[in-house]
Amino acid sequence: MHELSLIANLFEIMEEKAAEKNAKKITHVVLQVGKLSGVVPDLLITAFDIYKKDTMTSEGELTIKEVPLKILCRDCKTEVVKDDFVFICTKCGSTNLKTLSGTELYLEKMELEID
């Protein structure tokens, strides 16, 4: 489960940023997770809940925003949101595609409690 190591790295970043702001607690965290990121959102939530114990995020919540897989056909210029991972343009059948979104995995927002 590589989600646990991702969460461990996330907590390092969050605690560093919280310390810069002299925060008392981290109350809410929002992550953007792309469909093609290789990360399972449910496992991220589980890892977050395990890792947050005895940290400044112990009472914090995690929200995950799933980012759809969006591609651009370089041949016909069609943009398509894909529900599957079949990389073929639905309009012209080309495989000359560019991924526009869906690979993201980043911290969008972190809410802090400051004294």
Mean pLDDT, 10 residues at a time, the chain of 115 residues: 89 96 97 95 95 96 97 97 92 96 96 92
Residue 81 lies in a domain: no
Helix (H, G, I), strand (E, B) or coil at 1: coil
Residue 85 lies in a domain: no
Structure tokens at 84: 């599957």
Residue 29 lies in a domain: yes
CB atoms within 10 A of CB 115: 6
Residue 90 lies in a domain: no
Q: What is the pTM of this model?
A: 0.86
Residue 107 lies in a domain: yes
Residue 86 lies in a domain: no
The CATH number for 26's domain is: 3.30.2320.50
Give the domain extent around 22: 2-67+100-114
Domain count, the chain: 1
Residue 95 lies in a domain: no
Give pLDDT, residue 1. Answer: 53
Q: What is the CA angle 106-107-112, rounded to 5? A: 175
